[in-house]
Amino acid sequence: MSPSVKVKERIALGTKTERKLEKIDVLDKGYVRLVDVMGDDLRVVNAARVSYAKESKQLSDKDIRLIKFLAREGHTSPFRHAMLSFEIYAPLMIARQWWKYVVGSDHVMDAWNEASRRYITMEPEWYIPDENAWRSKPDHSKQGSGEPVDRAIGREATQRLKRQLEEGLKDYEWALEAGIAPEQARLLLPSAYGMYTPWYWTASLQSVAHMLNQRLAHDAQAEFQAYARAVYELVKPYFEHSLAELLKNKEI
Amino acid sequence: MSPSVKVKERIALGTKTERKLEKIDVLDKGYVRLVDVMGDDLRVVNAARVSYAKESKQLSDKDIRLIKFLAREGHTSPFRHAMLSFEIYAPLMIARQWWKYVVGSDHVMDAWNEASRRYITMEPEWYIPDENAWRSKPDHSKQGSGEPVDRAIGREATQRLKRQLEEGLKDYEWALEAGIAPEQARLLLPSAYGMYTPWYWTASLQSVAHMLNQRLAHDAQAEFQAYARAVYELVKPYFEHSLAELLKNKEI
Amino acid sequence: MSPSVKVKERIALGTKTERKLEKIDVLDKGYVRLVDVMGDDLRVVNAARVSYAKESKQLSDKDIRLIKFLAREGHTSPFRHAMLSFEIYAPLMIARQWWKYVVGSDHVMDAWNEASRRYITMEPEWYIPDENAWRSKPDHSKQGSGEPVDRAIGREATQRLKRQLEEGLKDYEWALEAGIAPEQARLLLPSAYGMYTPWYWTASLQSVAHMLNQRLAHDAQAEFQAYARAVYELVKPYFEHSLAELLKNKEI
Amino acid sequence: MSPSVKVKERIALGTKTERKLEKIDVLDKGYVRLVDVMGDDLRVVNAARVSYAKESKQLSDKDIRLIKFLAREGHTSPFRHAMLSFEIYAPLMIARQWWKYVVGSDHVMDAWNEASRRYITMEPEWYIPDENAWRSKPDHSKQGSGEPVDRAIGREATQRLKRQLEEGLKDYEWALEAGIAPEQARLLLPSAYGMYTPWYWTASLQSVAHMLNQRLAHDAQAEFQAYARAVYELVKPYFEHSLAELLKNKEI
């Protein structure tokens, strides 16, 4: 197996002893798994210094200053020689926003492979916020959420969702048994925004940082912030300096 | 208003008199509207012949042979200087497949702007197949659909869908009234796969042809085929030769 | 011919009477020609407001505020529904930098068709700065140029360049006559950095603005600034508000 | 140092014992160095099977059939989760063609960092074909090369090139000493098509295969074929099955 195939828990070099994680659970049934990493801070530096025809072997203070300079001046191409692959399991409403930041931005060094309900028979699972997890409308913004709603309202929301899932699932199963094609039967799937979907995402460090800059922000949907935080924790030990600079001025 | 802003019904130049359409209705409530077109067959030729420092003014037989050559040999870059903009209104299950062919393919000369249920208050509309429009599973394939299902099954499917929509919509409206943030309330939206969403799509002729080659095929979802056919009808009068060559060997 | 095929000199709508140009000469033998335009400020607005299901027909103050908002907040996708096509004739050193800003940036909604010296027989032309056009090294920067050099040095530089071109061209012509393949004979072409090359460039308004933001800056190579200025003059009348916002804080 | 940072000579798993190389010399002074690899055949399979929520741990016959199926049907997105980084040193005429296949194609999962003559002071080096390496024009094609030219012609070509380099280099050095800015002095650099330039290229396996399919072909420039072959040799041991399928029907 190639040395880059497995991301293992291990002791990081450098000043800190850091435990590298493979996988972080998110929401009630989701997760982010770091599948692989290519490159490190030194790689960014060496890509930027290609003209000097020699490779630094260890990250110097001068190298760290170069990383700061590149991030500050928007010279982002060296950060595209570092790549990361993730496996993600998240509700469709998150998958669609995530995708939007892939396409909608110009950050195209991304690969994406996602399961499709057109033919798979994978058991459907749903994100079901518990009674404390429902949030009110924000006061002064067109997007995001405000404070939690009253407990009683939260309780009813969870109940309504569960009942809708239960009844809708009966419709869906009836349709499959009645021989309706899966690509059409899915019209009867309840709460599709909350249905979990798995996908593979491969992206450059620049693209990952772009997503983090947007989705760690306060007006991002709370569920997405949870995924962004997991991505952040998984990536940080591998690109200590580059990630810090690309996310500068973000209090995380 | 810029001369390119409006695509009007008008008499095409050339051998055929052809009525150019602006908009084609699709499914029960959807449509494809051609917002704008940049370029024509001649543009493709002139982009390919940039080295000759002079522009053809009228499409000659030699120019048509060049278009055939470019398409046959996979020299597709000249087809990327012709651009098209559409406004589309389609169920989410179609929007997501469409998007997948934008990202999943490498055809990145695409812009995409879509409404989001995180904050809009646009009235939701759903695709509701009538009792004759439900299809059975295909016999020998992992995707697509087979023959229509029995009328009685179709009738029940439509009824179940309508009932699910009715009840789910009550949940959704209850959630909004109870003050739950729209980004979370949408978990209670029923049949999200069938909910209509509007978007703007701007793509090169190459990208449009790529989508057509995939989505006009027999194993494409019937609902998507209907949209692909509308796109095809809207585009054809503007790129008679280029489109024919890029879709060659496809019986349409 | 499609209404969008020709960009003509004409009176612009709006408050100002403005003459729209087709082509601007640059350097001693180069030019930028605006081949076509798709969209206008209103298009940007309508793409951003796709969720409202109706199109503004005339640009209002509210629309202009939306453009400001989109540019300020970095919501750039609506600017990718406006497209522009150019034909450019510039020295190779400019073509290569231009290309770098296409690839090196993430702005991928670009098409590029360029002549190649592997087989064309187009007469070569070179950029030959006259004796006043040679610039000294900048004092405090790693790139760009400083003041003009002494007239005597400029005169010698032009002479040396002309002599190198004259003698090198003999080598190249000898090689072609001796039957050496053009793809290899070009090794004998003198001053390739200064050799003119023609290309077609199709890009979104966002991509054009990105190039202008970088190449109108003071540390950009003077020859490139001249091309950037030509692009700016050609584009400005078509996207008065959008371009101003995307270039905000740039003194032009 | 991250486990993925260094590609070492090592014994590959599987049926064959294979020595993995780091670097291959090309032409008189150039090379291709494999900087890093992310993923393997198994990764392609796991990305394609993301819906099954479990990862194969060892490549089975069924996995190999899936790779064949994906390549044959043009389902290329799984091949974009495997990434490769190279450092390349090649004449500018090759660098420009290579770049063209990055931009000109839609294969955008590429990062590119290249030295620039605008400010670097790196000693220039040139590709100088020896007297046996000059090729004649092809008989029946618009591109490529035919048989070697007569030895006497080859000898003169090499001599002319050397003399042009010698005299041109004097002009360039004179210009730098006279204080002309490097960005302009490079107009006096001789034989820029043959000047070596170093760059970093990071690309997906799909993109690498696309380049190989084009540049290993018989009508590709011989010098580029030499680089393509080096890339092929470096990549092959890491993606035995995927590369074979993506290059299928190419006799290499």
Angle between helices A92-103 and B92-103 (to 10 degrees): 40
Say yes or no for a CB contact (<8 Å) between D81 and A202.
yes
For C23, counting Cβ atoms within 10 Å of its Cβ (0-12 exposed, 13-18 middle, 19+ buried), the class is: middle
Residue of A nearest to C100 (CA): A77
Say yes or no for a CB contact (<8 Å) between B180 and A135.
yes
- Mean pLDDT in residue range D195-214: 89
Q: Specify the pTM.
A: 0.85
pLDDT value, residue C187 = 94
Say yes or no for a CB contact (<8 Å) between D109 and A110.
yes
Task: Give A15's pLDDT tier (boundaries 50, 70, 90).
Answer: very low
Residue D121 confidence (pLDDT) above 70: no
Identify from B50, B106, B213 which residue to disrupt to test chain D contact, counting D C-beta atoms within 10 A and taking the largest count. B106
Chain C: partners with 3+ C-beta pairs within 8 Å: A, B, D
Contact predicate C193/C176, CB 8 Å: no
Q: With left for phi above 0 and alpha for psi between -120 and 50, is residue B74 left, alpha or beta?
A: left
Say yes or no for a CB contact (<8 Å) between C105 and A106.
yes
- Mean pLDDT in residue range B88-97: 90
Please report, as a single letter, which amino acid is at residue B218: H
CA distance C148 to chain A (A): 28
Pairing of strands B110-114, B196-204: antiparallel
Cβ partners under 8 Å of residue A70, min gap 6: A44, A48, A76, A78, A79, A245
Contacts of D194 in chain C (CB under 8 A): 187
Contacts of A39 in chain D (CB under 8 A): 2, 4-5, 36, 85
Identify from D116, D135, D187, D200 which residue to disrupt to test chain C contact, counting C C-beta atoms within 10 A and taking the largest count. D187
Q: What is the spatial distance between Cα A167 and Cα B44, in angstroms, rounded to a whole number?
A: 54
What's the mean pLDDT when you consider all of chain A?
83
Q: What is the spatial distance between Cα A142 and Cα B174, in angstroms, rounded to a whole number?
A: 20
Contact predicate B174/A160, CB 8 Å: yes
Low-confidence winner among C65-69, C117-121, C135-139 (lowest mean pLDDT)? C117-121
Say yes or no for a CB contact (<8 Å) between B106 and D105.
yes
- Mean pLDDT in residue range D51-66: 82
What DSSP character marks residue D89?
Answer: E
pLDDT value, residue A141 = 67
Residue A12 confidence (pLDDT) above 90: no
Q: What is the spatial distance between Cα C183 and Cα D143, in angstroms, rounded to a whole number?
A: 8
Residue B17 confidence (pLDDT) above 60: no
Say yes or no for a CB contact (<8 Å) between A108 and C104.
no
Residue D16 confidence (pLDDT) above 60: no
For chain A, where are the E strands, in sequence order? Answer: 23-26, 30-38, 83-91, 110-114, 196-204
Nearest CB partner across the interface for B164, out of A108, A142, A171: A171
- Mean pLDDT in residue range A5-16: 33
- Residue of D40, D22, D105 lying closest to D79 (CA atoms): D40
Contacts of B199 in chain C (CB under 8 A): 50
- Residue of D206, D225, D217, D243 lying closest to D76 (CA atoms): D206
Residue of D nearest to A36 (CA): D38
Task: Give B250's pLDDT tier (boundaries 50, 70, 90).
Answer: low
Say yes or no for a CB contact (<8 Å) between B221 and A96.
no
Q: How far apart are the first and last CA of chain A?
A: 35
CA distance D131 to chain A (A): 29
What interface predicted TM-score (ipTM) does this complex get? 0.82
pLDDT value, residue A234 = 96
Identify from A184, A196, A218, A219 which residue to disrupt to test chain B contact, counting B C-beta atoms within 10 A and taking the largest count. A184
- Mean pLDDT in residue range C152-165: 97
Low-confidence winner among B148-152, D7-11, D141-145 (lowest mean pLDDT)? D7-11
DSSP per residue over A50-89, as a string? GGG----SS--HHHHHHHHHHHHTT--GGGGG-EEEEEEE
Say yes or no for a CB contact (<8 Å) between A38 and D113.
no
Using one digit for the tens of pLDDT, what is the confidence trace for C191-223? Answer: 889 999 999 999 889 889 988 988 888 788 999
Cβ partners under 8 Å of residue A18, min gap 6: A11, A12, A237
Low-confidence winner among B53-57, B114-118, C195-199, D178-182 (lowest mean pLDDT)? B53-57
Interface list for chain D against chain B, based on CB atoms closer than 8 Å: 76-77, 104-109, 206
Task: Give B186's pLDDT tier (boundaries 50, 70, 90).
Answer: very high
Contacts of D107 in chain B (CB under 8 A): 106
| Positions of D marked catalytic | 215
Q: How far apart are the first and last CA of chain C?
A: 36
A and D: number of Cβ contacts within 8 A: 136
More reliable by pLDDT, A120 or D129: D129
Task: Give C11's pLDDT tier (boundaries 50, 70, 90).
Answer: very low
The 10 Å CB-count burial string (b at 16+, else e) for A48-58 is bbbbeeeeeee
Residue D81 confidence (pLDDT) above 70: yes
Q: What is the spatial distance between Cα B79 and Cα B206, in angstroms, rounded to a whole number?
A: 5
Query: Which ranges of D178-201 does DSSP label H, i.e. alpha helix?
Result: 182-185
Using one digit for the tens of pLDDT, what is the confidence trace for A65-108? Answer: 999 999 998 888 889 899 999 999 999 999 888 877 665 555 45
pLDDT value, residue A31 = 95
Identify from C81, C106, C143, C213 which residue to disrupt to test chain A contact, counting A C-beta atoms within 10 A and taking the largest count. C106
Residue of A nearest to D106 (CA): A108
More reliable by pLDDT, B37 or B214: B37
CA distance C102 to chain D (A): 8
- Mean pLDDT in residue range D114-118: 73
Say yes or no for a CB contact (<8 Å) between C38 and B114.
no
B208, B209, B212, B213: CA torsion to nearest 10: -150
Angle between helices A151-177 and B151-177 (to 10 degrees): 170
Cβ partners under 8 Å of residue A158, min gap 6: A128, A129, A130, A131, A134
pLDDT value, residue A219 = 80
Residue B225 confidence (pLDDT) above 50: yes
Q: How far is CA B244 from CA B44, B107, B227, B250, in A?
A: 13, 19, 18, 9
Contacts of B143 in chain A (CB under 8 A): 118-119, 183
| Positions of A marked catalytic | 215
Kindly report the number of other CB atoms within 10 A of residue B5's CB atom.
18
What's the mean pLDDT when you consider all of chain C?
83
pLDDT value, residue B9 = 31
Contact predicate A105/B103, CB 8 Å: no
Q: 3-state DSSP call for residue A27?
A: coil
Using one digit for the tens of pLDDT, what is the confidence trace for B93-136? Answer: 998 888 776 655 554 556 778 877 766 567 889 999 999 999 99
Q: What is the spatial distance between Cα D118 and Cα D34, in angstroms, rounded to a whole number?
A: 27
Contacts of C220 in chain D (CB under 8 A): none
Q: With left for phi above 0 and alpha for psi between -120 and 50, is residue A77 left, alpha or beta?
A: alpha
Residue A29 confidence (pLDDT) above 70: yes
